[in-house]
Amino acid sequence: MSDLVADLLAGKHSALARVITLIENRSSGYREIISDLHQHTGTADVIGVTGSPGAGKSTLVDKVAATYREQGQTVGVIAIDPSSPFSGGAVLGDRIRMASNAGDMDMFFRSMSARGSLGGLSTATTDAVTALDAFGKDKIIVETVGAGQNEVDIVRTADTVAVLVPPGSGDDVQMLKAGILEIGDVFVVNKADLDGADRTVQQLREMLQGRSGRPDSGHHGPTELAGDHGDASDDDSDDEDDGSETWNPPIVETVANRGEGVEDFLDALANHGDYLDRTGRREGQARERFAAEIRTLLREDANELLVDELDRRGGIEQYVDAVIERNTDPYTVVDEVLAPLRACLDERRDGA
C-alpha cells in the first residue's frame, strides 16, 4: 500500500484531493490506487443529482450538503462542470456558491471538468466516488451540469437519482422522455414559488403514470405516482418479499435558495434508501454497476491495445489507403489486425 493510500484511509483530506487529481488526469499509478481502495468501499450512500441547466441543482446540493452536516454526517460532492475551451479547467472553478460549507473539513467538494467531452468522465467519476467512499464519507453527491445521455451515464453511479425540473418548463418536461425519466428515483420541482410550478408537477405526474414498470431493474419501477416522500408498493399483502415490491417515485417541491422543501427531499432520499435495503435491490444495483464498469474498462483497454498495434504496423492511414484503392476492405483489415490477439487467446484456451 502506498503512503498516499495510507494517508487517504487515515482521513487526510489533502491525500483525498491528490488522489482525485490523479484520477481526473488519469495519471500514472491511479489504477493501482483505485485497486487498493476498492476493498475499503461499500458503506457510503451515493446520490446523483441531474436535470436541465437552470433548474437550481447547485443551490439545492449546497442546502442538502449543509443539512447533512447539521445532522452530523460527512459529505463529499463531485460536481461535473463545463470546461473552458481555452484552459480545459472548470469554468465554475471550486464553486464559490458552496461557500455556506466553506471551512468545514467534513464537507469535501470537488468540481471535475468535462474538458469538452463527458464520455470518458463517467469512468473518472466512478473512481472519484470510490476514493470518497474509501475515505469514509457518509454521503456522496454527484451533480451534473445538464441532462444529456453522457450525464445520465455519470449519475448511474448513484444509489438514488434525483431529477430536477424548473417550473413552467414544458420543453424540459418533454425532454425527460428522452431517457432520463427512466432513471429518476425522486423528482424535484425546484423554484416552486414561481408561476407554472403546479402545471409542471401535473405534467410529471402524467408522465410517471405512463411509465412502464421495471420492478427488477436497478433504478425504479412503478407506473403510478408516489406519496409525499416516496413509497413502496407491493401487489401481494404477504409480508414476505416476493420480488413484486416496486418503488413509487415522489415529486417534491422545493425553493432551494430559501431552504424550503429540503427536509422533504431528504426524507424522499432516505425512503428510497430504505427501500433498496429492504428489498435487496441495493446489492442488485451494485452488481449492475460493477458489470458495466468491467465492460467499460475492457473496451477502453482493448481499444488502447489495438491503437498501439495499429501504430506498430505503421498507423491506420496505410489501411485507409488500401481500402480507398479497393485493394482490401474494412472487415479484412480488422481481421488482420486482430489475428495475433485471436491466436493468443486460442493458444491460452487450448492450453487451459
Q: Would you state the pLDDT for residue 121?
A: 72
Is residue 264, in this structure, part of any structural domain at all? yes
Is residue 121, in this structure, part of any structural domain at all? yes
Please give the model's pTM, rounded to 2 decimal places: 0.84
Q: Would you state the pLDDT for residue 77?
A: 94
- Nine cell digits for residue 116: 469538452
Is residue 137, in this structure, part of any structural domain at all? yes
- The domain tally of the chain equals 2
Bridge partners, 189 (sequence order): 165, 253
Bridge-based pairing state of the strands 246-248 and 231-233: antiparallel
Q: Is 108 in the same domain as 144? A: yes
Q: Would you state the pLDDT for residue 67?
A: 95
Do 62 and 100 meet the contact criterion of CB atoms below 8 Å apart? yes
Q: Is 77 in the same domain as 140? A: yes
Query: In the chain, how many H helices and how many E strands?
Result: 12, 9
Whole-number Å distance between alpha carbons of 211 and 306: 41
Q: Is 302 in the same domain as 198? A: no
For the domain that residue 158 is a member of, what is the CATH number?
Answer: 3.40.50.300
Q: Would you state the pLDDT for residue 120?
A: 60
Q: Is 188 in the same domain as 311? A: no
Q: Is 268 in the same domain as 319? A: no
Can you give the residue range of the structural domain that contains 303?
A: 297-349
Q: What is the dihedral of CA 263, 289, 114, 136, to 10 degrees?
A: 60
Each residue's pLDDT, cut to its tens digit, for the chain (352 residues) gives 699 999 999 999 999 999 999 998 889 999 999 999 999 999 999 999 988 777 888 899 999 999 999 999 999 999 887 654 444 444 444 444 454 555 677 899 998 875 545 556 778 899 999 999 999 999 999 998 766 666 677 777 899 999 988 887 566 566 665 567 778 899 999 888 888 888 888 888 888 886 644 433 445 443 333 345 566 665 444 444 455 688 989 999 999 989 999 999 999 999 999 999 999 999 999 999 999 899 989 998 999 999 998 999 999 999 999 999 999 999 999 999 999 889 999 988 887 6
Q: Is 311 in the same domain as 256? A: no
Q: Is 195 in the same domain as 335? A: no
